[in-house]
Amino acid sequence: MMHDRRLLLDAGNTRLKWAVVEKGQWLAHGGGRYDEPPEWLPFLQNGMPCYVASVVRDQHKGRLQEWLTSYAIIPVWLSSEVQFADLRNTYVDPKQLGVDRWMALIAARQRSQASTLVVSVGTAMTVDALSAGGAFSGGLIVPGMHMMAQALLQGTAHVIDVDGGDLQAFPQSTADAVRSGSIAAMKGAIRIQYEYLKQATGESPHCLITGGDAAYLLPHLDVPVELAPLLILEGMERVTREGESV
């Protein structure tokens, strides 16, 4: 039985983003935690195609399998490749590049042919550089906001108040100091890579930001940036659309 409908799952470390696409149209999309009933269940059809870009631990994979098996759906687990269209993966081991990063790069290339910095802010933050010629030049992996706070909580004896802090120029509480330090570290990583890419290409790069904490970090950035909350799913839609047309 042929299906016009596809389920796309962007399975991150802490949250699951999803989209249902039919005949080139996005029917619905959303996100949630792994311990919540998924909002996409009403859109499922028995045996329909499902594609997953996953960086999750095995327990979350098992939960996804349980939900899908009841509809006789066998998911296809996507992976990073050496090349897609004119986008080239120059990682030393291309398969080692996280599939979420690869899908975001594919979507970024689809949006613009200019040099682009692709920032994804979740459990970890990645900052990836894409040349105007279509080469993924490499990128950074930085702990995300909550991971930085937890590292301080676990690794120091007296940092105990890490929740609810605000960004301050000169923090005067531990919570504010942790939050301000985390934002400063993330801003710095983005700014440094922005300048590196600008120097390498001779032009100011386009900058896209996605991920669960992207909207929070966005107002604090000092480089021009565009919020693209569905960037990874956009890349998945392009890859799976081309795969099904072959």
As annotated, the active-site residues are 100
Q: Which residue has the tokens 């509480």?
A: 173
Listed in sequence order, the residues at least 6 apart from 236 whose beta carbon sits closer than 8 Å to its beta carbon are 8, 10, 19, 51, 53, 78, 103
CA distances from 108 to 53, 122, 215, 229 (A): 16, 18, 18, 12
Tokens of 13: 């470390």
Tokens of 64: 């996804």
For residue 48, the SS3 value is coil
- The single-letter DSSP state of residue 230 is T
For residue 49, the SS3 value is coil
CA distance 139 to 128: 4
Taking residue 69's Cβ as centre, other Cβ atoms within 10 Å add up to: 11
- Cross-sheet strand order for the sheet of 76-77: 25-33, 15-22, 5-11, 50-54, 76-77
CA distance 51 to 10: 9
For residue 227, the SS3 value is strand
Specify burial of residue 159 (Cβ count, 10 A radius: 0-12, 13-18, 19+). middle
